[in-house]
Structure 1
């Protein structure tokens, strides 16, 4: 399971302040805490800044995090100029968050994917928005993945995000998302699946319980990357336990190692 730490995101007030003040020490501490908690990659987002400022700040943010963290980054922005700026200084193979079937976004992001050999989060949406049901989502997802493959992007570099919605307003969303991932996996061998957690529980109390349950269910249906807060030790323990139960952790070696490292404590 690829754990992508979500905490360096300027929608969080503390990160927004640190980014605007160029508080490198604060950013580095956030990065190290996530890596020490088990993150394999860190998402970096400074999208609350003005669109003209964002590229330069993204460049600074990528350099600041990579100086200390020693892991690749998921460069996250709707602003393709900010993506390009972050990629230009990134060391190693980056992930781009994100591309979609939206015409303009696809045209602007695809050249960056190819130029930098980056992996990419592929959002299941097009010019019509987020699909209204599973059948439409399958249509959108198949076209998007086929377009990326036809453009020369290796399947191993594509992380399909089914864009789960809130179960509070879309009661069928999780069941349909699980089925969508299963159908996409049957059509595209080697395709990766990624998801964030915030949408599924939006508008409900004690959201962490729903988020954690969603991760476990999704892993059983093929989810192999997740954008999360790795400082949620209960969620991380559930990920390790689920990998063991799904035979993705042979003889439970990772689970045992995490136990000895104290990572399974409540």
Structure 2
């Protein structure tokens, strides 16, 4: 399973300010710290900076992060043109583009690019009409993406389907809809990978970390292939390592013990 650090995202005020100011020191330190915490890939997102060209800012962000760490990146933008700019400066391995939707305009721009680069591609279970509020509707969006990706020559193992995590503070059934969608996609497309963004589920909730950690353990039980989360949250990482042990994925519990000895768990995580 791929662990992706979520923190280099312009929706975070401090990160937004750092990108706007081209503060290399801040971005470099944040990138390095996430890798130290256990991130195997880093998500980079420069969206939402009013009055600025997102493609230019994402390009700067990619260059800065690549100079700081050697892990692969997830280039994250809702704007296909911004991704087209940023991939030109990417020099690392195992790139993932995030993301394509079932909208024709999105498919037409990003599928050929992902096929040409032979990189990973995240597919969001939505279209120009929005996000379906039920698993069946999201599965239909997944079917469109999988079919078109295959026609474009993208390998099944390079496609990551995102069932979309909505916040339970707005829709109390959101977590269940996501997990049901995940199950259905697994059954329908066993050859395709899955991608889950953990932190979205608990916006506006008290004890947000508790909800996120619980959701993480449930998603891990569904055999997700990639999770994007706050790797700086030691209790979150402790949950991740413990789940791997209980699923029989950590031979002789070596990774769990190594992480514990390295101080990657909080002092309260085991109480």
Cα shift at 1:207: 1.2
Equivalents in 2 of 1:46, 1:59: separation in Å? Answer: 9
Cα shift at 1:239: 0.5
Secondary structure of the corresponding residue to residue 123 of structure 2: strand
Which structure 2 segments of 5+ residues have no match? none
The 8 Å contact of residues 213 and 236 in structure 2, kept in 1 or not, is answered as yes
Per-residue CA distance 1:61-93 (angstroms, 9 max, x = gap): 111101111111111112222211211111123
Residue of structure 2 equivalent to 1:258: 259
Equivalents in 1 of 2:136, 2:205: separation in Å? Answer: 27
The aligned length equals 266
Per-residue CA distance 1:11-30 (angstroms, 9 max, x = gap): 21211221121111111001
Equivalents in 2 of 1:116, 1:51: separation in Å? Answer: 30
The 8 Å contact of residues 87 and 116 in structure 1, kept in 2 or not, is answered as no
Residue of structure 1 equivalent to 2:120: 119
Matched, 1:74 2:86: no
Residue of structure 1 equivalent to 2:131: 130
Equivalents in 1 of 2:50, 2:114: separation in Å? Answer: 24
Which structure 1 segments of 5+ residues have no match? none
Cα shift at 1:177: 2.1
Equivalents in 1 of 2:35, 2:48: separation in Å? Answer: 24
Structure 1 residues 51 and 116 mapped into 2: Cα distance closer, same or farther (>3 Å)? Answer: farther
Equivalents in 1 of 2:125, 2:104: separation in Å? Answer: 13
Alignment of 1:91-170 (within 5 A): 91=91, 92-170=93-171
Cα shift at 1:255: 1.1
Matched, 1:204 2:199: no
Secondary structure of the corresponding residue to residue 168 of structure 1: coil
Residue of structure 2 equivalent to 1:42: 42
